Structure 1
């Protein structure tokens, strides 16, 4: 982590100006301890495509990087130049009515950063009624059990029909790199960086009768049962950390534990977004130079390599131009 050393005089002037009660200027937000891993703010360019689960382009989707937003064209393509991102972390979001919001996180390069996001169809899996226990399951055996208590985004109790959307993303899914949110990069419960190895992800979204977003009521939990991939049964541990994806920040956060019961992982969650059953390892920074056949350094986009079979993200922090 690089630290910027400011001249003492500038610090004093900054302190004096901050003491002025008539100063209406907003105070710049201070990065969290974890965000300090991402380095300084820089300007980067992005190009990419938004598609559906059939690999068909999605036009008129809204794509946002930093404080810049654009609409995709008829081919699902977008271009965003000069977005303000961290030098070691960029977060791209995409959304359109009728689809579940998608995202991608990456370490941005100086050149064009290529991004591909696959959006899930937002069709409701099952409808349940508030005030009574219910279970929503899908064909894989993955399921969610509710106690019947729900609330809206303002924290007010919700009564009525609840549309439940459930999607189970397995580690063996060939489209895992395009479907999953962010990347397999996380913050542990102790605030450290981690690279995840997934044993399956679950996305659950709740909607009220008017289409409004809902959540599990404060003080209540839901039980998730996630089927373990057949090709992971031999290696799946008895207990595994649970991680939820923070859609505002763009990375996973350790949040509880799931226990293996037979061929399933079972855990309790207090809210819904994406949930992930993962083991983890510490991060490694790797700097490489990529040459073509003529030994000319290549300029490549921000890179996150995901081995879908192993479910492990390997982050290449810098792709340099020219030979070293």
Structure 2
């Protein structure tokens, strides 16, 4: 045997020597030294620092030029062009010569033929100080943003803005400048000197010319030395006398009420720009009959003294059977570690609760609905939402467990008025923001630094970590499933934890890492964002593939998903226990094996169901009722099919079994599931067990050997 192995080794070496040698592609990897700090320099003096460039690639790196951001190019100087050989570096002198008493911070860009992505710039920081070395400062601060409210077209409203000098030397205000998009409707000016610790008040006038909402910046030009804010947001709305009155509903647009109970409508309010409050003039019609189960409408209409009729508002009222109190309960965990999370906030339609020390929550007395969005948030974790279902026959949902991903990267944006590029370490994920693109909920510019939370989502690890149930509406307004190639969760907050979002009309550029279970990856793909109200994914834009990421523009900060509507077929099946009793109202779940998607359905009174699957996609099908889970089936349907056998629970759905699912990444290709019990009980890939055998009462339903998983073990019960 030894001689045979020895010969085999020699043959193997010979095969290796005869193989093809493949050379790596040329790489030109540009790396930098640290940002350059020049400190405080007297006006007119010069200080020089060295910028170090490194080539960590295997081919010659060519530097074409250095470029300074336009706001600092007058005071920073330095240039170099040439080649840097692999493993070598180049020192370049950068000179700072301030011409005013102020702070000069900005970017130096290095243009080259580098092949690596990531930053290609460095921050330069310096401050010009007075010649007399008195450390004189001129610090300009403001009052609040100015809100003018609704103003009739052609009329004027004024607001005052107060300017403060918090420095140690007199501050000179030169003039006001209004952004181009608002300069025709906002006006005002001021010039003069503000003494130390003094203030001056200026008047801003708003005179709208159109029926439109106006929002923009006024810039105060001065000889300030601080690098802080120098603009304020101006917000106003122009209206005309022919505006329609507006009806606002009190309470929810959809209401559920039990049969034979008294219905008391919450009503509505109405406001007119000329007549004021005309709530008493609202005409309300209702056909609600609580003695008969059904769907009804309450309609609200009103007109003002000029005869302008408001848009009708309708409330939907559903009369349902008397039911027992409803509840949804479960455990909130850390997706990465499985740790149970305390003090997480769980909410449904404004009703909130907090998890206890064991991560448990319980929400009660909710209206029945087949789509209940359960949202979870906790400091340090990306928010997540899942879809529950409550009905007259299924009033309690237990073990509705939700996992949260830890925040991948937190970035502090010190100046929200400036453009920014945020890159997530060890990930292609990246977010690019334009200057002055961020707003608070009321539409005003944010004040102070912004906390940006970015978390890439890998659906190949577990599709359950994706928010919702992977459904969207198609052109025919039908609910249809989508397949994910990766997602990114973006959240932003100011210092007071108030949410920050994109200004209307603005967009940001987002890179989403690609995660695939194999097969072809599309070069372009639709973008979807998660709507926390409906629990659906909403299509909004396109993204283009570039290597290992998709890049596209987004219009809000939420969860963004790179998805496709897949070609689907219908799977018909049934659910029963081992005695052949059909099981109604069981939740049916189908999860992709070679694609990132899932769909849901419920069994009817006869234990039958139909569920959508991806055509020619490999998927696992399983049923659940309460804490019990059925056996699973693996299918690869090319057309509509009816399963030959039902999904099987234990002898009774009151007998709790177990389903264990093992998933992993692309490497290694194979992991194995082993279930061992005393007395020789051992289920694994060579002995998969049998659900109907009294020896096992369990089986390894799915054994995967091609990366990702899953491997699925099902036990309807365990031997005594």
Q: What TM-score comes out, normalization by structure 2 length?
A: 0.37
CA contact (8 A) 1:288 1:320 kept: no
Is residue 360 of structure 2 the alignment partner of residue 77 of structure 1? yes
One of 603, 618, 636 as aligned partner of 1:319 = 603
- Aligned equivalents of 1:190 and 1:254: distance in 2? 14
One of 110, 118, 130 as aligned partner of 2:403 = 118
- Aligned equivalents of 2:298 and 2:516: distance in 1? 63
CA contact (8 A) 1:203 1:274 kept: yes
One of 422, 429, 435 as aligned partner of 1:136 = 422
CA change 1:104–1:283 in 2 (3 A) is: farther
One of 185, 189, 204 as aligned partner of 2:471 = 185
Give the 3-state SS of the residue equivalent to 2:581 in structure 1: coil
Give the 3-state SS of the residue equivalent to 2:417 in structure 1: coil
CA change 1:283–1:155 in 2 (3 A) is: farther
- Aligned equivalents of 2:513 and 2:408: distance in 1? 21
C-alpha distance after superposition, 1:280-316 (max 9, x if no partner): 1477787754212122334666454433651112221
C-alpha distance after superposition, 1:148-201 (max 9, x if no partner): 321111111124322111111122123x30x22111011246644220100111
CA change 1:124–1:266 in 2 (3 A) is: closer
CA change 1:313–1:153 in 2 (3 A) is: same
Give the 3-state SS of the residue equivalent to 1:203 in structure 2: strand
Is residue 554 of structure 2 the alignment partner of residue 269 of structure 1? yes
- Aligned equivalents of 2:540 and 2:454: distance in 1? 20
One of 577, 582, 586 as aligned partner of 1:297 = 582
Return 257-266 or 241-250, whichever deviates more. Answer: 257-266
Say how many residue pairs are matched: 298
Aligned residue runs from structure 1 range 213-292, under 5 A? 213-229=499-515, 231-232=517-518, 234-281=519-566, 288-292=573-577
Q: 1:167 maps to which residue?
A: 455
CA contact (8 A) 2:373 2:533 kept: no
Q: 1:210 maps to which residue?
A: 496
CA contact (8 A) 2:298 2:315 kept: no
Q: Which has the higher contact order (CA 8 A, sep 6+)?
A: 1
- Aligned equivalents of 1:282 and 1:28: distance in 2? 37
CA contact (8 A) 1:171 1:310 kept: no
- Aligned equivalents of 1:298 and 1:260: distance in 2? 45
CA change 1:40–1:159 in 2 (3 A) is: same
Q: 1:7 maps to which residue?
A: none
Give the 3-state SS of the residue equivalent to 2:576 in structure 1: coil
- Aligned equivalents of 1:240 and 1:140: distance in 2? 20
C-alpha distance after superposition, 1:236-274 (max 9, x if no partner): 212211101111221111111111223321100111100
Post-superposition offset of 1:277: 0.5
CA change 1:159–1:61 in 2 (3 A) is: closer
Q: 2:329 maps to which residue?
A: 47
- Aligned equivalents of 1:90 and 1:203: distance in 2? 21
Post-superposition offset of 1:89: 2.0
CA change 1:208–1:189 in 2 (3 A) is: farther
One of 282, 306, 309 as aligned partner of 2:591 = 306
Q: 2:446 maps to which residue?
A: 158
CA change 1:163–1:295 in 2 (3 A) is: same
Aligned residue runs from structure 1 range 76-95, under 5 A? 76-86=359-369, 88-95=370-377
- Aligned equivalents of 2:434 and 2:299: distance in 1? 53
- Aligned equivalents of 1:157 and 1:17: distance in 2? 38
C-alpha distance after superposition, 1:80-121 (max 9, x if no partner): 4442132x3222122334433321014556334342211233
Q: What TM-score comes out, normalization by structure 1 length?
A: 0.77
Post-superposition offset of 1:276: 0.6
Q: 1:6 maps to which residue?
A: none
Return 51-60 or 114-123, whichever deviates more. Answer: 114-123
Post-superposition offset of 1:140: 1.6
CA contact (8 A) 1:50 1:57 kept: yes
CA change 1:278–1:312 in 2 (3 A) is: same
CA contact (8 A) 2:584 2:607 kept: no
Q: Determine which structure has more spread, i.e. the larger CA radius of gyration.
A: 2
Post-superposition offset of 1:219: 2.1
Q: 1:62 maps to which residue?
A: 345
CA change 1:297–1:67 in 2 (3 A) is: farther
What 5-or-longer segments of structure 2 have no aligned partner?
A: 1-285, 290-295, 304-312, 609-720
